[in-house]
Amino acid sequence: MTSLSDAAVKHLRAIADLPDLSETKYRLGAPLGRGGMGTVYLAHDAELDRDVALKVIGPLSIRLSDEARILARLEHPGIVPVHDVGVLPDGRVFYAMKLVRGERLDAVFASSLTLLDRLRIFDRICDAVAFAHSQGVIHRDLKPANIMVGQFGEVLVLDWGVAAFRQRETSPTVVGTAGYMAPEQSRGESADERSDIHALGVILEQLLPAPAPKSLRAVCAKASAEQPSGRYQNASELAEDLRRYREGLPLSAYRETLMERAARVATKYQLPIALIAAYVLMRALLLLFAR
């Protein structure tokens, strides 16, 4: 009896795992990514002549029907829309989604983007998360790998496979990714909006350049506080503090010293201050020469 090599077995398993799209309008392409909830493939919609991202997951269940309802509810520019949903002959479920071309957020960490550009990207992430929360949906697995920055500056939050409706999230199970999960998630307790805020705080910490101001570090610390009551209570509050930073205003997360306040005001109003200083200097010189 001839035994198959490990490589041959691996190849056969990969082939067997491929979805059968023969009864659909899609033509299968290369795999784009694999996660705990399924695999995402590049596919071509033959009817509309466009490429899509096709997510193939396990047999239909309550969990997956919840996911379908969640995705249908989240119509927002920062959340990838679902074009189609169906069931394959083997019972597996597929979703056809918009194909996002760009970079994952973790690739942005090593880029040469300015601090303000990084904060603008993060502001769009907060906007998408705030919208989901307004619809009663908790993502529960926010991390850089689930966020894409598109070729034209669009920022999209992906992979809502373990998301849950807030009012239904009561199961004592650990859901999320280590390093981004809030402490209450790690303990298997119910997650709410503040659990997503914790993950946003970790993401912001990683997104900031090494010499980031202490005030922004304080924002990260507040967002990812140990206790939910110590965090920002929603994504809009977090985004508001970052907006205040960009506009040169004091932050709720940071108590600045008198010197820091003077430096912040001087930076915010440096042009008017420079004009006033130039005017005073010119008046002094005129008086000096007049004498």
CATH number at residue 81: 3.30.200.20
| 139 and 63, same domain (yes or no) | no
Which member of 17, 51, 106, 141 is catalytic?
141
Instruction: Please say which residue of 72, 98, 124 terminates a domain.
Output: 98
For this structure, is 51 an active site residue? no
Q: How far apart are CA 205 and CA 243, in angstroms?
A: 16
Q: Is residue 61 part of a domain?
A: yes
Mean pLDDT of 121-131: 97
Supply the pLDDT for residue 12.
39
What pLDDT digit, counting tens, does each position of 11-48 carry?
434 445 789 998 899 999 999 887 666 789 999 999 99
Asked if residue 112 has pLDDT above 70, the reply is yes
| 123 and 251, same domain (yes or no) | yes
Q: Closest Cα partner for 42 from 105, 103, 107, 101? A: 101
- Cβ 98 vs Cβ 80: under 8 Å: yes
Lowest mean pLDDT among 65-74, 158-167, 196-205: 65-74
Mean pLDDT of 107-132: 93
Q: What is the CA radius of gyration of the chain?
A: 25
Residue where the block lists tokens 């900031």: 208
Q: How confident is the model at residue 10 (pLDDT cuts 50, 70, 90)?
A: very low
Q: Is residue 284 part of a domain?
A: no
What pLDDT digit, counting tens, does each position of 180-225 carry?
999 999 998 888 999 999 999 999 999 999 899 999 999 999 999 9
| 193 and 223, same domain (yes or no) | yes
Helix (H, G, I), strand (E, B) or coil at 31: strand
| 146 and 241, same domain (yes or no) | yes
| 107 and 212, same domain (yes or no) | yes
| 117 and 52, same domain (yes or no) | no
Domains contained in the chain, number: 2
Q: Is residue 131 part of a domain?
A: yes
* Predicted TM-score (pTM) of this structure: 0.81
β-pair partners for 53: 42, 97
Q: How confident is the model at residue 263 (pLDDT cuts 50, 70, 90)?
A: low
Supply the pLDDT for residue 151.
83
Q: Is residue 212 part of a domain?
A: yes
Residue where the block lists tokens 């930073």: 245
Most confident option among 129-138, 149-158, 171-180: 129-138
CATH number at residue 117: 1.10.510.10
| 130 and 89, same domain (yes or no) | no
Asked if residue 155 has pLDDT above 50, the reply is yes
Lowest mean pLDDT among 95-109, 197-211, 237-251: 95-109
Q: Which is higher by pLDDT, 110 or 105?
A: 105
150 CB contacts (<8 Å, ≥6 apart)?
Answer: 100, 101, 102, 156
Burial zone of 75 (CB within 10 Å; 0-12 exposed, 13-18 middle, 19+ buried): exposed
Supply the pLDDT for residue 266.
63
User: Which residues form the domain of 60?
Assistant: 9-98
| 81 and 118, same domain (yes or no) | no
| 210 and 246, same domain (yes or no) | yes
Give the Cα-Cα-Cα angle 185, 190, 192 (nearest 5 degrees). Answer: 90
Q: Is residue 265 part of a domain?
A: no
Q: Is residue 154 part of a domain?
A: yes
258 CB contacts (<8 Å, ≥6 apart)?
Answer: none
Q: Is residue 273 part of a domain?
A: no
| 122 and 191, same domain (yes or no) | yes
| 192 and 94, same domain (yes or no) | no
User: Computed from CA positions of residues 14, 17, 20, 25, in that sequence, does the dihedral angle turn out positive or negative?
Assistant: negative
β-pair partners for 147: 157
Q: Which is higher by pLDDT, 95 or 7?
A: 95
Instruction: Please say which residue of 67, 98, 129 terminates a domain.
Output: 98
Asked if residue 1 has pLDDT above 60, the reply is no
| 124 and 90, same domain (yes or no) | no
